[in-house]
Amino acid sequence: MSGIEIAGVLLATFPLIISGLEHWRDVAKVGGYLWRVREGYKKCLRDVQLYEIVYKRNLQELLMPMVADEEEVKHLIEHPGSQEWRSPDMQNHLEGRLQESYSLYMEIISEMNRTAQELSRELSFDKTALQDKLSLPVATQQRRPGTPQPPAKPSRIASVKLKLEYEAFRAKFSLRASVRDELFNRMNECNQRLEKLLSTSDKISILQNASRLPTKQHSTLEAVLKKARKKSDLLFKALNMAWGCSCQAYHLANLRLKHHTLREICFEVILTFVAPPTQDCSLWSWRELQCGPGVGCSPPQQKLVKSSNGPQPTSCVVNITTSLSPTPTSRKKKVAFTASTPIVPKIEVQTVADPRVKLCKLLEDQDCGKCMGIIGHDDETYHLHPIRRWKRPNDDDCPLTLDCILSSDFERPLSRRQLYSMALLLASSVAQLQFTPWLRTGLTKKDVLFLPCDEENDCIIPFGEPFIQQDFSLDLPSPVDAETNDCNFYSLGILLLELCFGRRLEDHPLRRKHPVGDEQSRQTFDLMAALKWSSSVQGEAGDDYASAVKWCFMEGSSVNQSWRGEIVKYVIRPLELCQGHFKAAAV
């Protein structure tokens, strides 16, 4: 008998047990003994029905990925002895579904089948002679009063024997409740093992499929993040060079963090003007912009502000190049004058920086239309499209930071799924923005800001769309200088730790044992406490999350030329797998 047939045989055993229990109830009721064993009977019936339902659900979970049609699954469950259970294809699908756990799964089902047979014997349902004799009073009661020739009255000896057999069965049912409970416990344990074994098999299959991602996908994501890094770096430099105003020190840029996976990259930036009380800032104070390629965009004339490292021309330059396009000669031989090939001028109009038009001035325009203008740096240009999504906080309000959210007094703690999603987003943002003007030092929880949506969107705070804020200092470190500094990913590791447990490092007892100290001492004590705390990550979040944290503290302790590829492989990809676990659990 194949494994799938054994599963069907066990499925057919439960109705037999329930039918026997109900038959015994009817007999006991007629004999007047039901009241003495009513509670034991009810408990026994509930237990059998419970384990039948649990086993059916385990079988449904086993069959559904193997059988495409839901109706066919239902048919298999309702007809456990049908021909479909003996199908070789079904057996092959079962072995492929369970893989190396197939033998153990079938052994558990066999054990459960033996337990069900033992339970049947314990309830005396295999004694057909007793069952037939116990059915006689029922038949007598069901006979119509007017029926002629009633059955012969049993002899006194037969009646006494029947009564003794019944009393023995009743005594067995009443006194051997502990034996039945032990059998039911075994059935419950078998059901739990089946459920756990199937669940782990499915999870392993999901992880195997996810871990078999080809190296091409790693390199593709690395290329996208490298492109995002370049574009974000040039965007900041374009903004920095485009201000051209004396109030540049009071301008701030809030960049929305994204986990970029597509090659088409667009940035969402909120520019603010935080002027001192002595200066009038009534011209503009808050502008939300979408900065990216202008597909189908018609920017206003004379509104390109383009910067580069070299001197800027101050007029529109028209570059005219020539290209010769010879006319194809005909293959037919004929005498004719060959017309001279015309020279077609190829005109490239390059609008460059106009000293009379500056970014600060552009932002004053309230009626700028779809495109406010274009800024650029080196070989990148960015169309500035006004948007409106966010609610501007009051000047007196402190910004909501990740530090506030992770504090113990925050009223709306985030779910584990939200925390892990944010961990992936911040790790990806570090891979994009590290060594750019947007992220001049290690990212910390105080750098991550959250803004409420506009009033039209009920003022909710989308915790999956954080920002970082940066000012426009006149002296920006070059990328080469930044990467040669002693930089590591300790701060990212601490962030991942805090998001894993949903609490701040400074609130943990491991950190409270050490003094706050000065800045250098604080960083040392933070790292000491974080390394000890990181040993608990595997038990809290699993191997994938733990490996990401470990890389930040160990392999990511020093920067090399291949750091971006390593952070994709050892941090971002494992955190993506953590997100995949939530999706698998939701199915």
Tens of pLDDT along 174-197? 677 788 888 889 988 988 888 888
Dig out the tokens for 363 from the structure: 């932002």
Q: How many CB atoms lie within 10 A of CB 306?
A: 21
Cα distance between residue 98 and residue 326, in whole Å: 69
Who wins on pLDDT, 421 or 35? 421
The predicted model gives 157-171 an average pLDDT of 65
3-state DSSP percent of the chain in helix, strand and coil, to 5: 55, 10, 35
- Sort residue 274 into left (φ over 0), alpha (ψ -120 to 50) or beta: beta
The predicted model gives 390-399 an average pLDDT of 77
Tell me the angle at which helices 519-533 and 490-501 cross, rounded to the nearest 10 degrees: 50
- What distance separates the 2 farthest-apart alpha carbons in the chain? 136
- Average the pLDDT over each of 151-160, 326-335, 418-427, 498-507 and give the range with the smallest value: 326-335
Who wins on pLDDT, 25 or 408? 408
Is pLDDT at 331 greater than 80 in this prediction?
Answer: no
Q: Considering Cα of 379, then 385, then 386, then 392, what sign does the dihedral take?
A: negative
- Domains of the chain, by residue range, sit at 3-141+154-211, 399-464+476-586
- Sort residue 388 into left (φ over 0), alpha (ψ -120 to 50) or beta: beta
Dig out the tokens for 356 from the structure: 């009379």
pLDDT value for 249: 84
| Secondary structure class of 268 (helix, strand, coil) | strand
pLDDT value for 501: 95
Dig out the tokens for 56 from the structure: 């059916």
In 460-572, alpha helices (H): 479-484, 490-501, 509-512, 519-533, 537-541, 543-553, 563-567
Cα distance between residue 52 and residue 44, in whole Å: 12
The predicted model gives 536-549 an average pLDDT of 93
Cα distance between residue 101 and residue 201, in whole Å: 8
CA-wise closest residue to 234 among 284, 307, 329: 307
Cα distance between residue 526 and residue 511, in whole Å: 7
Is pLDDT at 138 greater than 60 in this prediction?
Answer: no
What ranges make up the beta strands (E) of 123-226? none
- Ranked by mean pLDDT, the top range of 58-67, 204-213, 262-271 is 262-271
- Average the pLDDT over each of 168-182, 372-386, 416-430 and give the range with the smallest value: 168-182
Q: Taking the CA of residue 341 as centre, how many other CA atoms within 13 Å lie in the half-sphere pointing to its CB?
A: 11
Tell me the angle at which helices 177-211 and 34-63 cross, rounded to the nearest 10 degrees: 10
Who wins on pLDDT, 318 or 533? 533
DSSP β-ladder status, 373-377 and 304-307: parallel
Query: Edge to edge, what strands does the sheet with 251-256 contain?
Result: 304-307, 373-377, 380-386, 286-292, 267-273, 251-256, 467-471, 449-450, 400-401
Dig out the tokens for 486 from the structure: 């002693």
pLDDT value for 346: 40
Is pLDDT at 322 greater than 50 in this prediction?
Answer: no
Query: Which backbone phi and psi does 276 adopt, to 5 degrees?
Result: -65, 160
How many angstroms separate the first and last alpha carbons of the chain? 33
At the top level of CATH, the class of 399-464+476-586 is mainly alpha
pLDDT value for 219: 79
- Average the pLDDT over each of 41-55, 143-157, 283-297, 565-579 and give the range with the smallest value: 143-157
- Average the pLDDT over each of 131-135, 457-461, 487-491, 504-508 and give the range with the smallest value: 131-135
| Secondary structure class of 363 (helix, strand, coil) | coil
Contact 300, 371 (CB under 8 A): yes
Is pLDDT at 293 greater than 50 in this prediction?
Answer: yes
Instruction: Measure the CA angle with vertex 56, ends 55 and 59; round to 5°.
Output: 90
Contact 463, 405 (CB under 8 A): yes
pLDDT value for 101: 83
Portion of the chain with pLDDT greater than 70, in percent: 67
For the chain, give the mean pLDDT. 75
- Average the pLDDT over each of 18-27, 195-204, 350-359 and give the range with the smallest value: 350-359
Tens of pLDDT along 248-292? 888 899 999 998 877 778 999 999 988 776 666 567 889 999 998
464-503 b/e (C-beta count within 10 Å ≥ 16 → b): ebbbbbbebeeeeeeeeebeeeebbbbbbbbbbbbbbbbb
Query: Which residues are within 8 A (CB) of 393 and not within 5 positions of it... i.e. 6 or more apart?
Result: 399, 451, 452
